[in-house]
Amino acid sequence: MEMAKELNTALVKRKKNGKINIKSGNKIDKVVNWTIWILGILTILAFFFFDYTGLNLERAITGTFHNLKVMFLEPTLNHFSWGEAFYQVGITLGLGVLATILGAIIAFFLALMAAENLSKPWLSRSVRVVVALIRAVPTVLWVLIFAIAAGLGSEAAVLGMLFHSVAYLVKAFSESFEEIDPGIIEALRATGSKWWHIVVKGVLPSTFTYLLSWTFLRFEINFSVAVAMGAAAGAGGIGFELFMASGFYFDLREVGFITYAILIIAIILELVSTRLKNRYFPSSAQTV
């Protein structure tokens, strides 16, 4: 019946002059198109309701370009040294590494319980529901929650990133476990292997490259989050220095320098991660 309804959405009508008029599309396409049109119209109408009092458009555009020029063409350090800059970058990297490693270890064991081919149905569904709820809450909110509970500092940042990392990796790891050839697990069970033997001898060898690849990806995400959380949770690092330079000192040159530093570190991490995945885990790099 559903197929018939979908086919009926594409109607072919013959006009009197012999030409065929084809009407294609379904309800989903119509909803998407109407949504785009409505959002576009609302966006245009919003410009007519803005308060433009005191706005000098020419001065605003000139000032914006001047600030961008100072920020990105004249970067420099004024309030801390190069040594302190490297130290702060190290703190940010440390926050990301710690949250990723702890998250990957915890997620591995939870993913074994979440995988439908390795766990009981009720246990798998329970774990999936819990991690889905955790994953639905943004990392920033988790950090703020732990900042209230444990106080401002690196502990709140690590715990907040850890919670979301675990939920993220449980989903990725469990799906990797479920893609294992069922014949491998059945063969091991037929030989009388226990559950842990199946995990060690069958699951890990088949999914190890995928687990590492997903862990690399999560580390790249955690580094970006650690930059923002350095200021939000008072955890320090290069993110806190960026917050001070932009909000406290209002030093555009220092903001530009820190922005370049973060961009360079992110590019280096991406290149290192990609090279490692292409060299040691080529199949997983293509999959992810």
CATH of the domain at 149: 1.10.3720.10
The pair phi, psi for residue 139, each rounded to 5°, is -60, -40
**So what's the pLDDT on residue 283?**
53
**So what's the pLDDT on residue 281?**
59
Residue 75 domain flag = no
Residue 62 domain flag = no
Show the low-confidence residues of the chain (pLDDT under 70): 1-26, 277, 280-288
Helix (H) or strand (E) holding 13: strand 11-14
Three-state DSSP class for 12?
strand
User: Are 44 and 105 found together in one domain?
Assistant: no
User: Are 41 and 93 found together in one domain?
Assistant: no
Residue 150 domain flag = yes
Both structure tokens of 60: 């605003």
Beta bridge partners of 12: 22
**So what's the pLDDT on residue 19?**
53
Residue 63 domain flag = no
Please check whether residue 31 is in contact with residue 41, taking contact to mean a CB–CB distance below 8 angstroms.
no
User: Are 181 and 236 found together in one domain?
Assistant: yes
User: Are 231 and 157 found together in one domain?
Assistant: yes
Residue 35, judged by CB atoms within 10 A of its CB (0-12, 13-18, 19+), counts as exposed
Beta bridge partners of 49: none
Record the pTM.
0.73
Give the span between the Cα atoms of 164 and 155, in whole angstroms: 15
User: Are 278 and 169 found together in one domain?
Assistant: yes
Both structure tokens of 198: 């199946």
**So what's the pLDDT on residue 4?**
47
Q: Give Cα separations from 7 to 12, 14, 20, 21 (angstroms).
A: 11, 17, 17, 16
Give the span between the Cα atoms of 235 and 156, in whole angstroms: 8
Alpha helical stretches, state H, the chain = 2-8, 27-48, 57-73, 82-114, 121-136, 139-150, 154-178, 182-190, 195-198, 204-232, 238-243, 252-280, 282-287
User: Are 25 and 90 found together in one domain?
Assistant: no
Q: Give Cα separations from 73 to 62, 70, 193 (angstroms).
A: 16, 6, 64
Residue 216 domain flag = yes
> What sign does the CA torsion over 167, 173, 174, 175 have?
positive
Give the span between the Cα atoms of 119 and 199, in whole angstroms: 11
Domain hosting 247: range is 84-287
User: Are 186 and 255 found together in one domain?
Assistant: yes
Per the structure, the count of domains in the chain is 2
Beta carbons within 10 angstroms of residue 84's beta carbon: 12
User: Are 98 and 43 found together in one domain?
Assistant: no
User: Are 137 and 270 found together in one domain?
Assistant: yes
User: Are 105 and 243 found together in one domain?
Assistant: yes
Give the span between the Cα atoms of 174 and 110, in whole angstroms: 8
Beta bridge partners of 23: 11
User: Are 11 and 92 found together in one domain?
Assistant: no
User: Are 112 and 252 found together in one domain?
Assistant: yes
